Amino acid sequence: MELTLGSALRVNAARYPNKVAIICGDRKITYREFNERVNRLANGLLGMGLKKGDKVSILLYNCPEYLEAYFALAKAGLVGVPVNYRLVPEDVKRIAIHSDSTAMIVGNELLGMIEDLKPQLPYGEGRYITVGDVKSGFQKYENLLEKASSREPSVDVKETDLCNIMYTSGTTGDPKGVMGSHRRWALMFFCSAAEWKYSARDHNLVAGPLYSAYCHGPLANIYFGATQTLMRTFDPEETLRLADRDKVSNIFLAPTMYTLILAIPQKTRESYDVSSVKRLFSGMAPLLTQTKLEALEYFKEAELYEVYSSTEMGIVTTLKPEDQLRKTRCVGPPVLPVEVRLFDDEGREVPRGEVGELYALSPLTMEGYYKDPEKTRQAFRGNWVTSGDLARMDEEGYYYIVDRKKDMIISGGLNIYPIEIDEIIAQHPKVLEVATIGVPDKKWGETCMAVVVAKPGAECTEKEIIDYCEGKLARYKIPRSVEFVSELPKNASGKILKKELRKRYWEDQEAQI
């Protein structure tokens, strides 16, 4: 049997027909019901004239239909193109055109944007399938399912076939289309089972957006026959309420999400029973030590796994529970079957303890960027793949992500890694969130600025922050300035968009210096 998304769902529908696969709001869907709906969608899309290899865009908030789309496209041999619903219309159009999509599954809340774009989009009439209420010129999702067969689609899907094109979050530049095969996804799921103990016994809470790397969790859950509670969008207190209501065992959150949960007043947090949570996962960005300690204090029964991964490289390393308190700002050793190397700009492997750009070699890496051979070439050194992160390795073979290569600050010829500064400032009792960036400076080229979100009700000054860094950081790393903001710009995965913070200072560099 081929290692495909569709084959795994077919098997689990036979193994666990009456087991609940998805809970969303008041809806509960069993594996048998889920598989039948997936088959109907797959056959409905094929009946519209779509053929194996065609691309289909998905523009939805989290909902069961999103997961149905992932698996239906996989069974039909079609290629899914998840689209970030937070993008501006021009970016949605660009992805639709660049990906060569021929149809779109869209939520009714997003129809306004699509209706305005319709004359510029590549989809023909009848190729817009709407979840929820429809407008003229759109086809209703449920009507398509009602008319289609619930039998397994008769499409010969190979594990080497393209499964989806995941557009990167664009934290350092324009999004790029990362190609992934069915085999790549299946191997990542098996890696999850080996490293994180994923199994059919789990009940997972899905808080992140399904168009991003968060989709790995819910797809793996279904691959292994687990149950999952699906949140439409992330909400800190709702996360705790659902963890209590459904007695979930696993939660995967970005560091920012942990920060927001821990910012809930303690009395409110303590009103929820989260003792069922046995495993916490953190990824997408570095988890600061203070946040980690507070999260483990609140989720008292849980073990913590920190995951380093990227859209391009897949899963790379994991810091397991037994190492959490003995390794600071560490992402752990490579997972099986991944090899990791650190290279300098000339392609030479750096000595142990020194900083280099992290590359991975494994069957979990991408097939390349869609229709972008030049960026694909830049991402590879032979068969080794990078996403542009800088790291160092310690004497035990554990890795530490120093920062994004493009986020590194060079001041007076010295390399400064902002995450080191963020780690210190985040421990200030009045600081909720912080992001350190480089800003233009006539003398030094650039200097450090800390952009800070204070805790609710806290009054904090620039001098307090700078004084707090004294003795904790080398003098040249201490921010020369501090700006206070109400919130930091983030993508829906919870990554802080430092390029957005830098933009106002660097768009007209001459005016700034």
- Residue by residue, DSSP assigns 392-416 as EE-TTS-EEEEEEGGG-EEETTEEE
> Which stretches of 247-352 are DSSP H helices?
255-262, 266-270, 289-298
Q: Is residue 14 part of a domain?
A: no
Token pair 């495993």 in the structure block, residue: 279
Q: Quick one: 468 and 451 in the same domain?
A: yes
Burial class (CB in 10 A: 0-12, 13-18, 19+), 147: exposed
Tell me, yes or no, whether 262 lies in a domain.
no
Q: Are residues 358 and 414 both part of a single domain?
A: no
Q: Are residues 165 and 69 in the same domain?
A: yes
User: Within this chain, do residues 387 and 412 fall inside the same structural domain, yes or no?
Assistant: no
Does the pLDDT at position 509 exceed 60? no
Closest to 309 measured CA to CA, from 164, 190, 192, 174: 192
Q: Tokens 């994180």 correspond to what residue? A: 196
Give the pTM: 0.83
Compute the half-sphere exposure of residue 247: CA atoms within 13 Å on the CB side of its CA: 2
230-256 pLDDT, tens digit per residue, is 999 999 999 999 999 999 999 999 888
The CA distance from 188 to 192, in Å, is: 6
Chosen domain end from 179, 196, 223: 179
Q: DSSP secondary-structure letter at 264? A: S
Which has more confidence, 77 or 437? 77
CATH number, domain of 100, equals: 3.40.50.980
* Cα dist from 502 to 386, 406, 450, 476, whole Å: 23, 11, 11, 19
- Structure tokens that stand for 251 in this block: 């939660």
Domain that holds residue 473: 408-512
Distance CA 416, CA 410 (A): 6
- How many Å apart are CA 500 and CA 491, to the nearest integer? 11
For residue 396, the Cα-to-chain-centroid distance in whole angstroms is 28
Q: Is the dihedral of CA 36, 9, 363, 192 positive or negative?
A: positive
pLDDT of residue 19: 98
Q: How confident is the model at residue 513 (pLDDT cuts 50, 70, 90)?
A: very low
Average pLDDT over residues 93-104: 94
Are 164 and 42 in a shared domain?
A: yes
pLDDT at 501: 85
Mean pLDDT value across the chain: 90
The CATH number covering residue 388 comes to 2.30.38.10
Does 382 lie in the same domain as 470? Answer: no
* Same domain as 172, residue 31: yes
What number is the average pLDDT over the span 311-332? 93
d(CA 246, CA 2): 34
Length in residues, the chain: 513
Interatomic CA distance for residues 219 and 259, integer angstroms:
26
Domain boundary among 158, 179, 200: 179
Residue type, 345: D
Q: At 386, which helix (H) or strand (E)? A: strand 384-393
- Give the contacts of 45 (CB within 8 A, at least 6 positions apart): 56, 72, 73, 76, 78, 103, 129, 144
* End-of-domain residue from the set 120, 152, 179: 179
Three-state SS at 355: coil
Give, to the nearest 10 degrees, the angle between helix 31-47 and helix 5-15.
140
* Domain assignment of residue 276, yes or no: no
Residue 478 lies in a domain: yes
The answer on pLDDT for 73 being more than 90 is yes
Residues 395, 438 within the same domain: no
pLDDT exceeds 70 at position 333 = yes
Residues 34, 169, single domain; the answer is yes
C-alpha 71/C-alpha 163 separation (Å) is: 10
Task: Give phi and psi for 245, each to the nearest 5.
Answer: -60, -50
Cα 452 from chain centroid (whole Å): 23
pLDDT band at 512 (very low <50, low <70, confident <90, very high): very low
**Listed residue (66, 364, 151, 214) closest to 56, CA to CA:** 66
Query: Using an 8 Å Cβ cutoff, are 382 and 424 in contact?
Result: no
Q: CB-side exposure of 288: number of CA atoms within 13 Å?
A: 24
Is there a single domain that holds both residue 453 and residue 354? no
Residue 101: its H or E element: strand 101-107
173 within a domain of the structure (yes/no): yes
Going from the C-alpha of 118 to that of each of 58, 303, 452, the distances in angstroms are 15, 48, 41
Rg (C-alpha) for the chain, rounded Å, is 23
Residue 422, domain member (yes or no): yes
Neighbouring residues of 174: CB distance < 8 A, sequence distance ≥ 6: none
Residue 413 banded pLDDT, cuts 50, 70, 90: low
Asked if 422 and 343 sit in the same domain, the reply is no
Count of domains for the chain: 3
| 13: in domain | no
Does some domain include residue 211? no
The reply to whether 342 and 394 lie within a common domain is yes
Residue 307, CA distances (Å) to 53, 191, 200, 510 in order: 32, 12, 21, 40
Q: Kindly report the CA angle at 113 between 112 and 115, in degrees rounded to 5?
A: 65
pLDDT of residue 289: 85
pLDDT digits (tens, 9 = 90+) for 338-397: 999 999 988 899 999 999 999 999 999 999 999 999 999 989 999 999 988 889 999 999
DSSP 3-state of 77: coil
Q: What local confidence, expressed as pLDDT, does residue 172 receive? A: 44
Chain-centroid distance of CA 261 in Å reads 18
Distance of CA 327 to the CA centre of its chain: 24
- Residue range 218-232: mean pLDDT, rounded: 94
